[in-house]
Amino acid sequence: MRDTARRTTSSPTAPPAASRARSVATRDPYPEFTAGLRRLTGIDLDQYKRPQMERRIRSWIRARHGDDDLLTELERLRRDDAELDAFLDRMTINVSQLWRNPEQWERLAQHVLPELQRRGSLRIWSAGCSYGAEAYTLAAHVLDAGAGRRGQAHAEITGTDIDARVVARARRGVFSAADARDAPKAALERHFERNPDATWSARPDLRALVRFEQGDLLKVRPKPAHYDLILCRNTVIYFTEEVRDALHARLAEALRPGGYLVVGATERVANAPALRLAPAYPFTYRKEG
């Protein structure tokens, strides 16, 4: 059988067909997929935990196309803008809503914002802002705390996200009924206007406090000691530990002494004392002077 296989090979230097099949079968397509996606979108999946991210990608492809072939999907992403949009929606985890995690907002309203307001002007960063629900909720609490209005302390809120499409959506400031489902009714009606189609639009005084920019958290280098409050919630769970820790270090550096960093309810800052961060409230750290 081996002699016959050699004789029927089209080229004397080509490997046997069985060897070629084994090579294809054992080839690891994930590095080629991540490299192609990086060239296509600028998103570097090598900075994320491979097992979780690869499982997430393959399950999405399987549900959509009935297979989990990464390289076939890469070709679809290159050819089909609608496929790319759907893929990015899944991979960039654009899950948010107004007043998400209400217990964190209560702590911010009762303790953090009143303390920061006494300093005067406020600079706040919603890092990984998705389509803006967090940034507009922040703006509502800032206004309720008395900052940001005419004659009061100045405040500005910056939201950044890697996905240009959701940044454009955030700038519109329009949210669905599902986005608003857990929002306190009085606050929602005070800061948002209900539209005929049951969506909610941010009112002008709310929009005046926020601005949105496209930015990759793995690449952005904020100014040292620039912000009073940074929210980076539910963003780092798929990052490798090294990438997560480097990001937290940059966020800590971007805080003024006495400023606060808020992370997600399943997240923590490793070795916070080395970054001059002290736990202040659950999932909330204060920058020491």
Q: Which tens digits make up the pLDDT trace of 95-132? A: 678 998 888 999 999 999 999 988 878 999 999 998 99
Length of the chain: 289
Across the beta sheet with 200-202, what order do the strands follow? Answer: 174-175, 200-202, 192-194
Confidence at residue 14, expressed as pLDDT on a 0 to 100 scale = 47
pLDDT tens column, 269-280: 998 999 999 999
Is the separation of the CB atoms in 283 and 255 below 8 Å?
no
More confident residue, 44 or 57: 57
Contacts of residue 203, defined as CB under 8 A and 6 or more positions apart, other chains included, come to 191, 192, 193
Q: Pick the range with the lowest mean pLDDT from 198-207, 212-221, 272-281.
A: 212-221
The token pair at 58 is 């393959």
State the DSSP string of 155-167: EEEEEEES-HHHH
Confidence at residue 152, expressed as pLDDT on a 0 to 100 scale = 55
Percent of the residues in the chain that have a pLDDT greater than 90, as a whole number: 59
The C-alpha atoms of residue 248 and residue 237 are separated, in whole angstroms, by 12
